[in-house]
Protein backbone atom coordinates (compact mmCIF):
# COMPACT_ATOMS: atom_id res chain seq x y z
CA UNK A 1 0.00 0.00 0.00
CA UNK A 2 2.93 2.34 0.62
CA UNK A 3 3.90 1.93 -3.02
CA UNK A 4 0.46 3.13 -4.11
CA UNK A 5 0.74 6.15 -1.80
CA UNK A 6 4.04 7.15 -3.42
CA UNK A 7 2.54 6.69 -6.89
CA UNK A 8 -0.48 8.85 -6.09
CA UNK A 9 1.74 11.52 -4.54
CA UNK A 10 3.83 11.50 -7.70
CA UNK A 11 0.91 12.35 -9.97
CA UNK A 12 -0.42 14.93 -7.53
CA UNK A 13 2.97 16.66 -7.35
CA UNK A 14 3.28 16.83 -11.13
CA UNK A 15 -0.16 18.44 -11.37
CA UNK A 16 0.84 20.93 -8.67
CA UNK A 17 4.03 21.70 -10.58
CA UNK A 18 2.03 22.57 -13.68
CA UNK A 19 -0.21 24.82 -11.56
CA UNK A 20 2.78 26.54 -9.96
CA UNK A 21 4.29 27.18 -13.38
CA UNK A 22 1.00 28.68 -14.61
CA UNK A 23 1.20 31.09 -11.66
CA UNK A 24 4.75 32.00 -12.69
CA UNK A 25 6.54 30.28 -9.80
CA UNK A 26 9.32 28.41 -11.59
CA UNK A 27 11.06 27.49 -8.33
CA UNK A 28 8.08 25.70 -6.85
CA UNK A 29 7.17 24.18 -10.22
CA UNK A 30 10.69 22.79 -10.46
CA UNK A 31 10.62 21.32 -6.97
CA UNK A 32 7.25 19.70 -7.60
CA UNK A 33 8.64 18.15 -10.79
CA UNK A 34 11.58 16.68 -8.90
CA UNK A 35 9.25 15.46 -6.15
CA UNK A 36 6.99 13.76 -8.67
CA UNK A 37 9.89 11.82 -10.16
CA UNK A 38 11.35 10.94 -6.76
CA UNK A 39 8.02 9.66 -5.48
CA UNK A 40 7.55 7.41 -8.51
CA UNK A 41 11.05 5.97 -8.12
CA UNK A 42 10.25 5.38 -4.45
CA UNK A 43 7.04 3.59 -5.44
CA UNK A 44 8.91 1.12 -7.61
CA UNK A 45 11.72 0.70 -5.09
CA UNK A 46 9.22 0.02 -2.33
CA UNK A 47 7.53 -2.73 -4.37
CA UNK A 48 10.89 -4.34 -5.06
CA UNK A 49 12.30 -4.01 -1.58
CA UNK A 50 15.06 -1.60 -2.64
CA UNK A 51 16.41 1.19 -0.47
CA UNK A 52 15.03 4.61 -1.45
CA UNK A 53 15.59 6.82 1.58
CA UNK A 54 17.77 9.55 0.11
CA UNK A 55 18.93 11.22 -3.08
CA UNK A 56 21.78 8.77 -3.56
CA UNK A 57 19.43 5.81 -3.27
CA UNK A 58 16.90 7.33 -5.66
CA UNK A 59 19.68 7.87 -8.19
CA UNK A 60 20.72 4.24 -7.72
CA UNK A 61 17.11 3.13 -8.32
CA UNK A 62 17.01 5.12 -11.58
CA UNK A 63 20.30 3.61 -12.76
CA UNK A 64 19.26 0.10 -11.79
CA UNK A 65 15.95 0.40 -13.63
CA UNK A 66 17.69 1.78 -16.73
CA UNK A 67 20.04 -1.21 -16.77
CA UNK A 68 17.36 -3.74 -15.90
CA UNK A 69 15.01 -2.57 -18.65
CA UNK A 70 17.77 -1.64 -21.10
CA UNK A 71 16.03 1.74 -21.37
CA UNK A 72 18.63 4.45 -21.04
CA UNK A 73 15.96 7.12 -21.39
CA UNK A 74 15.08 6.43 -17.75
CA UNK A 75 18.50 7.69 -16.75
CA UNK A 76 18.19 10.77 -18.99
CA UNK A 77 14.76 11.61 -17.63
CA UNK A 78 16.02 11.16 -14.08
CA UNK A 79 18.70 13.76 -14.86
CA UNK A 80 16.03 16.17 -16.14
CA UNK A 81 14.17 15.77 -12.85
CA UNK A 82 17.40 16.25 -10.92
CA UNK A 83 18.06 19.45 -12.86
CA UNK A 84 14.61 20.69 -11.82
CA UNK A 85 15.61 20.05 -8.21
CA UNK A 86 18.74 22.15 -8.73
CA UNK A 87 16.62 24.92 -10.21
CA UNK A 88 14.64 25.10 -6.97
CA UNK A 89 17.83 26.30 -5.28
CA UNK A 90 19.37 28.31 -8.11
CA UNK A 91 16.26 29.70 -9.87
CA UNK A 92 18.09 30.05 -13.18
CA UNK A 93 15.81 28.21 -15.62
CA UNK A 94 13.32 30.25 -17.64
CA UNK A 95 9.67 29.17 -17.67
CA UNK A 96 9.90 27.41 -21.05
CA UNK A 97 12.72 25.18 -19.78
CA UNK A 98 10.82 24.36 -16.60
CA UNK A 99 7.76 23.53 -18.72
CA UNK A 100 9.85 21.20 -20.90
CA UNK A 101 11.25 19.60 -17.75
CA UNK A 102 7.78 19.00 -16.36
CA UNK A 103 6.74 17.46 -19.69
CA UNK A 104 9.73 15.13 -19.47
CA UNK A 105 8.84 14.19 -15.91
CA UNK A 106 5.37 13.29 -17.20
CA UNK A 107 6.97 10.99 -19.76
CA UNK A 108 9.10 9.46 -17.01
CA UNK A 109 6.07 8.79 -14.82
CA UNK A 110 4.22 7.15 -17.71
CA UNK A 111 7.23 4.96 -18.40
CA UNK A 112 7.76 3.98 -14.77
CA UNK A 113 4.10 3.24 -14.09
CA UNK A 114 4.24 0.47 -16.69
CA UNK A 115 7.03 -1.36 -14.86
CA UNK A 116 6.15 -4.32 -12.65
Q: What is the pLDDT of residues 23-78, one digit of tens each?
A: 999 999 999 999 999 999 999 999 999 999 999 999 999 999 999 999 999 999 99
For the chain, the structural domain boundaries read 2-113
Return the pLDDT at 13.
99
Q: What is the mean pLDDT of the chain?
A: 98
- Quote the pTM value: 0.96
- State the Cα–Cα distance between residues 71 and 26, nearest whole angstrom: 29
What's the CATH superfamily of 2-113? Nucleotidyltransferases  domain 2 (1.20.120.330)
DSSP string, 36-105: HHHHHHHHHHHHHT---SSHHHHHHHHHHHHHHHT-THHHHHHHHHHHHHHHHHH--S-HHHHHHHHHHH
Amino acid sequence: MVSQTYQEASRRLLAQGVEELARGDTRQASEKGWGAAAQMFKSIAERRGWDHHGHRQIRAVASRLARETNDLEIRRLYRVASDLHTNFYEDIDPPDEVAAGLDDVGLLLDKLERLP
